[in-house]
Amino acid sequence: MAINKDTAIVQAEEQRAQAEALFNSIGEGAIATDEFGRITRINPIALSILGYKESELLGEWFPKKIVALNEQDVAINLIDRPITKAFLSGRSVTEKVFYRKRDGQKLPVMLTVSPILLADRPIGAIEVFRDITLEEEIDRMKSEFISLASHQLRTPLSAIKTYSHMLVDGYMGDVTTAQKKSLRTIIGATNRMNELISTLLNITRIESGTIVINARMLRIDRAAEEVIKELNLAASEKNITLSLTQSGKLATSVKTDNLILKEIISNLISNAIKYTTEGGAVDVIVRGRNKDVLVTVADNGWGIPKDAHDQVFSKFFRAQNTVKRETTGTGLGLYLVKGLLERLNGNIWFESEEGKGTTFFFTLPKEQRLRNN
Ligand code: ADP
């Protein structure tokens, strides 16, 4: 019996040492807590990233000892801390936050925190995180480069466009019908390039958090009307009927940014026109509701295949059924629209069936505080 007991102790000790070694050799920072969020283990990488000694952290309440900050440098409330969300939801949470190091320095980290569940009850949590300073710096340089390149591209592009217009309008002598056709193609291409440059610039602004918001009270149905006027030509070229309805009795006014709002509506309607066969219909409905305004852009076009639904808002994504038929497109439009709506505190979603059509919905809240910058 005594031998068995000793063997069991030795085995348990071995297992404990193995678990310890396993934990310590995780290639990223790792912190384990008990069910109350008190630190029970911390690996050497986490200690070196955060600049603490193990003895300073063991037994401490994780959310209090390691302060997490958001992009605005504000300490994240306990309820919004990833570890709390993981405990409450019972699921893993992945987020980017800033940790305050021991020396007070702010450090960007990407973390995943998972609850440790025993019979569905959290008995602790484990967080794995890494320092993403370098990635952030590369990202910033990439955004800066795109922004610089886009600005520089605009100048020669406007020269091409101005001279093409002068040529086509006959200011530089007569041009044949064939020449006019070519010049119009050049003008069309410069317009598309200009749009692409605006999209790229807007994306870098969204990604770097430098997008400028000029919020004022405005009617969404009016904004939609203006966008529709601009897109009527594109619709009529494909014989597509483009309609606008203001439904319901409630006001459609919200405090928001006119240019950004129009960019969002324009992207959705352009897509609806682009991905609908000649003779189809695109219906825009603006509905004021109690707490928000709902905008619907419905088409009876090609639709989005089910297996592509998850990726529609991803950067550069284009569904297979559209890539085959329509070569122009970057897969950036909806990524931008989603980013812009997030910045305006709005939501976006869609319903779609291949071969039947697609309906995009977005809402903007009536009551909101938007940061003007
Ligand atoms: P782009 O239109 O430049 O390809 P977007 O980001 O605007 O990029 O759209 C991404 C993809 O989503 C499109 O390539 C297309 O496959 C699909 N999509 C978007 N809107 C519609 C629509 N109204 N009908 C069908 N497919 C659509």
Please state, for a pLDDT cut of 70, what percent of the chain lies above it. Answer: 98
Mean pLDDT on 35-46: 94
- Asked if the model's pLDDT at residue 372 lies above 70, the reply is no
Domain that holds residue 197: 136-208
Confirm whether 373 is domain-assigned. no
- Pocket of ligand 1 from Cβ distances under 6 Å: 271-272, 275, 299, 301-304, 312, 317-319, 322, 329-335, 358
- Asked if the model's pLDDT at residue 31 lies above 60, the reply is yes
Protein residue whose Cα sits closest to atom 21 of ligand 1? 271
Query: What is 53-68 written as a DSSP string?
Result: -HHHHTTSBHHHHS-E
User: What confidence score (pLDDT) does residue 12 get?
Assistant: 85
How do beta strands 121-131 and 241-247 pair? Answer: unpaired
Ramachandran class of 257: left when φ > 0, alpha when ψ lies in -120 to 50, beta otherwise: beta
- Asked if the model's pLDDT at residue 71 lies above 90, the reply is no
Q: Are residues 231 and 196 in the same domain?
A: no
Please state, for a pLDDT cut of 90, what percent of the chain lies above it. Answer: 72
Protein residue whose Cα sits closest to atom 13 of ligand 1? 318
> Among 62, 64, 74, 124, which Cα is nearest to 98's?
74
Q: Are residues 168 and 78 in the same domain?
A: no
Which of 274, 275, 297 has most ligand 1 atoms within 8 Å of its beta carbon, as the pocket-test mutant?
Answer: 275
Confirm whether 150 is domain-assigned. yes
Cα of 361 vs centre of ligand 1, distance in Å, is 14
Q: Are residues 102 and 142 in the same domain?
A: no
Residue-wise pLDDT for 73-85, tens only, equals: 899 999 999 999 9
Query: What is 91-125 written as a DSSP string?
Result: S-EEEEEEEEPTTS-EEEEEEEEEEEEETTEEEEE
- Asked if the model's pLDDT at residue 235 lies above 70, the reply is yes
Which residue, 191, 208, 225, sits at the end of a domain?
208
- Asked if the model's pLDDT at residue 262 lies above 90, the reply is yes
d(CA 166, CA 164): 5
Mean pLDDT on 283-305: 96
Confirm whether 372 is domain-assigned. no
pLDDT band at 4 (very low <50, low <70, confident <90, very high): confident
Protein residue whose Cα sits closest to atom 23 of ligand 1? 272
Confirm whether 371 is domain-assigned. no
- Asked if the model's pLDDT at residue 256 lies above 60, the reply is yes
Q: Are residues 37 and 90 in the same domain?
A: yes
| Between 64 and 208, the higher pLDDT residue | 64
Confirm whether 125 is domain-assigned. yes
User: What confidence score (pLDDT) does residue 75 get?
Assistant: 93
> Which amino acid belongs to residue 264?
I
| Between 373 and 366, the higher pLDDT residue | 366
Q: Are residues 83 and 25 in the same domain?
A: yes
Cα of 322 vs centre of ligand 1, distance in Å, is 7
Q: How far is CA 18 from CA 13, 57, 58, in A?
A: 9, 22, 20
- Asked if the model's pLDDT at residue 14 lies above 70, the reply is yes
Confirm whether 200 is domain-assigned. yes
Cα of 315 vs centre of ligand 1, distance in Å, is 11
Residue-wise pLDDT for 314-331, tens only, equals: 999 999 998 888 778 889
320 Cα nearest atom in ligand 1: 16
Confirm whether 292 is domain-assigned. yes
Q: Are residues 149 and 184 in the same domain?
A: yes
User: What confidence score (pLDDT) does residue 33 get?
Assistant: 96
- Asked if the model's pLDDT at residue 199 lies above 60, the reply is yes
Protein residue whose Cα sits closest to atom 22 of ligand 1? 272
d(CA 349, CA 20): 45
Q: Are residues 235 and 305 in the same domain?
A: yes
User: What confidence score (pLDDT) does residue 7 get?
Assistant: 83
| Between 26 and 115, the higher pLDDT residue | 115
| CA 248 to the chain's CA centroid | 31
Residue 237: partners with Cβ closer than 8 Å, 6 or more residues away: none
Mean pLDDT of the chain: 92
User: What confidence score (pLDDT) does residue 218 get?
Assistant: 94
303 Cα nearest atom in ligand 1: 25
User: What confidence score (pLDDT) does residue 17 get?
Assistant: 86
Q: Are residues 73 and 163 in the same domain?
A: no
Confirm whether 77 is domain-assigned. yes
Cα of 335 vs centre of ligand 1, distance in Å, is 10
| Between 235 and 121, the higher pLDDT residue | 235
User: What confidence score (pLDDT) does residue 210 get?
Assistant: 82
User: What confidence score (pLDDT) does residue 3 get?
Assistant: 57
CATH of the domain at 54: 3.30.450.20
173 secondary structure, DSSP code: B
Protein residue whose Cα sits closest to atom 3 of ligand 1? 329
Q: How many domains does the chain have?
A: 3
Q: Are residues 72 and 17 in the same domain?
A: yes
Q: Are residues 27 and 155 in the same domain?
A: no
Which residue, 116, 131, 146, sits at the end of a domain?
131
User: What confidence score (pLDDT) does residue 367 get?
Assistant: 82
> Among 352, 360, 251, 243, which Cα is nearest to 295's?
360
Q: Are residues 272 and 354 in the same domain?
A: yes
Mean pLDDT on 339-367: 96
Q: How far is CA 138 from CA 132, 135, 145, 201, 354, in A?
A: 10, 5, 10, 17, 39
pLDDT band at 252 (very low <50, low <70, confident <90, very high): very high
Cα of 318 vs centre of ligand 1, distance in Å, is 6
Q: Are residues 250 and 347 in the same domain?
A: yes
Which residue, 168, 190, 208, sits at the end of a domain?
208
> Among 244, 352, 233, 229, which Cα is nearest to 301's?
352
Residue with tokens 């069936």: 353
pTM here is 0.71
- Asked if the model's pLDDT at residue 234 lies above 60, the reply is yes
- Asked if the model's pLDDT at residue 10 lies above 90, the reply is no
- Asked if the model's pLDDT at residue 58 lies above 60, the reply is yes
Protein residue whose Cα sits closest to atom 9 of ligand 1? 331
Residue-wise pLDDT for 206-226, tens only, equals: 888 888 899 999 999 999 999
